Chain A
Amino acid sequence: LAKTTQPISMDSYEGQEVNITCSHNNIATNDYITWYQQFPSQGPRFIIQGYKTKVTNEVASLFIPADRKSSTLSLPRVSLSDTAVYYCLVGPTGGFKTIFGAGTRLFVKA
């Protein structure tokens, strides 16, 4: 399984765009990249998943370069409620061997 590396923490201000980068140098051909968000005292919540190039939904965008050795989660115009831990996961087709790393603790300030 590909190991992921993310920054431990990030700070931002309301209204800013936040980009969280995840490194996964050993990503395999059939691996997908998935991001989850976790608030205190809650289970993680799926944000976005992609395989290559760019994926966008109503919450975030995911940018994946051609070599797929990294990915960037982009949160547009964050608010205080986006303060959470964000996990980057890389997993094979079937996705059951899910490994959540330490995640990135994002703190949004007013």
Chain B
Amino acid sequence: DARVTQTPRHKVTEMGQEVTMRCQPILGHNTVFWYRQTMMQGLELLAYFRNRAPLDDSGMPKDRFSAEMPDATLATLKIQPSEPRDSAVYFCASGLVFGAGGVVNEQFFGPGTRLTVL
């Protein structure tokens, strides 16, 4: 049963600390998404990767957030320095796209990382 995994599941940290969230996409998937979910803003797309290359990170605060895919099995989202307003659930999702203009038919979401910044 292929699943997207995320670590850690919960993280409590203090303002100013660095936070790193990790995601293992489903093997063979060539697209990875990072989302943030809060009660006020709902689900927001932060970044999107295809074949490990970042295609869109316009939804991400550039000054403190960074997203990378060191290899096909690992995606990371870092916040440095973290702030209380970053408290949210962060979801990673992966999917499969065929061809340059292919549709992402289905995104498979991980269980999320619940981040609390004090």
Number of cross-chain contacts by CB at 8 Å: 64
Classify the interface of chain B: helix, strand, loop or mixed.
strand
Residues of A within 8 A of B33 (CB): 96, 98
Residues of B within 8 A of A98 (CB): 33, 45, 48, 104, 107
Residues of B within 8 A of A49 (CB): 103, 105-106
Task: Contact check, A44 vs B109: say whether CB atoms are below 8 A apart.
Answer: yes
Task: Contact check, B42 vs A96: say whether CB atoms are below 8 A apart.
Answer: no
- CB of B28 within 8 Å of the partner chain: no
- CB of B12 within 8 Å of the partner chain: no
| Interface members, chain A 58-107 (any B CB < 8 Å) | 87, 93-103
- A94 smallest CB distance to B (angstroms): 6
- A56 smallest CB distance to B (angstroms): 16
Residues of B within 8 A of A97 (CB): 45, 48, 56
- State which of A41, A46, A100, A102 has its C-beta within 8 Å of the C-beta of B106: A46
| Interface members, chain B 42-61 (any A CB < 8 Å) | 42-45, 48, 50, 55-56
Residues of B within 8 A of A42 (CB): 109, 111-112
- CB of B82 within 8 Å of the partner chain: no
- Give a binary string over B77-101; 1 marks a CB under 8 Å from any A CB, 0 the rest: 0000000000000010101010001
Name 5 interchain pairs, CB-CB below 8 A, sorted by A: A43-B112, A44-B107, A87-B43, A96-B48, A96-B55
Q: Enumerate chain A interface residues (CB-CB to B < 8 A).
A: 32, 36, 41-46, 49, 87, 93-103
